[in-house]
Structure 1
Amino acid sequence: MANLESLFTAWLEGESLTEEQIRLLESNPDYALMMENATKWQQHSLNYQQLPVPDWDRGSCMPQAHKQAVYFGSGLWAMAASIALCAWLLITSPEQTDSQLLEQVAKQTRLLESQQKQIDQLQNMLTAQNDIQQQHMYQLAKEAIKTGRVERQEDIASVLAYIKTQRAQDQAYLRMQLNDLAEQVDGRPMPTVANNVEY
């Protein structure tokens, strides 16, 4: 078999084999099938033609990544929009007085500060909720461990009670057998031989 394997490897690598060696490979059903498959794959590789990639609109079937990023940086976008609005107001309306502009800037600043406070409060609430969940998980784990210990102790106690009961029954049975033997040996009952006293 090892000879056939080396002949097949040599044939695959393109080495020239004698007619007898090729007939030997073709006479074995496994190697004949492998030679047939290898010939087919070699034909396919020789006839392979690379096809051009079709031109299609890739953007229509793939999700747009920049749409998701808007939600994550919404606070920054709001601040940038406010600054851009203030700058636009300064450039486009020179007839407004400085006090009006300062009032608008102050109003925008207060709005931004309130939004930032809301974001901070939400983050603090999320952190507190995570802490509470972790504490609950810790308590649940402790309860599960405690329950497991109690159940194991109850199981051990029931096993010990069963063993004690079996032991007492075995001892009583042995005492009865000893009494029977004593009566058979002596032919008369002897009260001092083995008393049925449980310990």
Structure 2
Amino acid sequence: MGRARGQRQSIPLGQGVVERLTESLVGKNFHVFYDSFFTSITLAKVLLAKKIFSCGTIVRNRKGFPTDLKSLPTLNKGDFLIRQDGKLTATVWMDTRPVAVLATNSSPLQESTPASRRLKDGSTVVIRRPESIANYQNYFRGVDIFDQLRSNYSIGRQSRKWWKYLLYFLINLAVIDSFIIFKESGQSRKKRYSQLDFRLA
């Protein structure tokens, strides 16, 4: 989806896309989630003014992001730093690597249920998790999982024809959705049934 006719050139493309897609949500206190391509402080404030709450990952060098969160001190897994401007919060949380989130739908004082992580030796460790991170992971993680699964096994070949790209994308989408449904149904007899196992079967 590109820039709409009549859209001001001063509005970034990503912001314009989100504003158009959320026109029907204005004033209804909905929560929207998006990834770092769309996330900006300007967009979060524009949506908040329309009574639309938002949450998205953000690149830490993005304009307006708190300066002291761009160059981090040494953080252990589960540590996090939060800065607040009104209802807008900027959070950096240490997982395997730093994860930055910009949100208007979470409290800087609220922690969510901890996250569990498997270590190389097979043991599991429980780490703290701020509310904004948990919200993002709970409501946007499906897209992340799909992108990760799709990147592992590509279908088709490179083509300049858009319909071929779309066809291959839809085939891959069907395979991945089938794999997820199969896993959720509990039909797999193997404890660690991978996407590769499913595709080969």
Q: Which has the higher contact order (CA 8 A, sep 6+)?
A: 2
Structure with bigger strand share is 2
TM-score range, shorter chain: under 0.3
Normalised by the length of structure 1, the TM-score is 0.20
Structure with bigger helix share is 1
Normalised by the length of structure 2, the TM-score is 0.20
Mark the structure with the bigger radius of gyration: 1
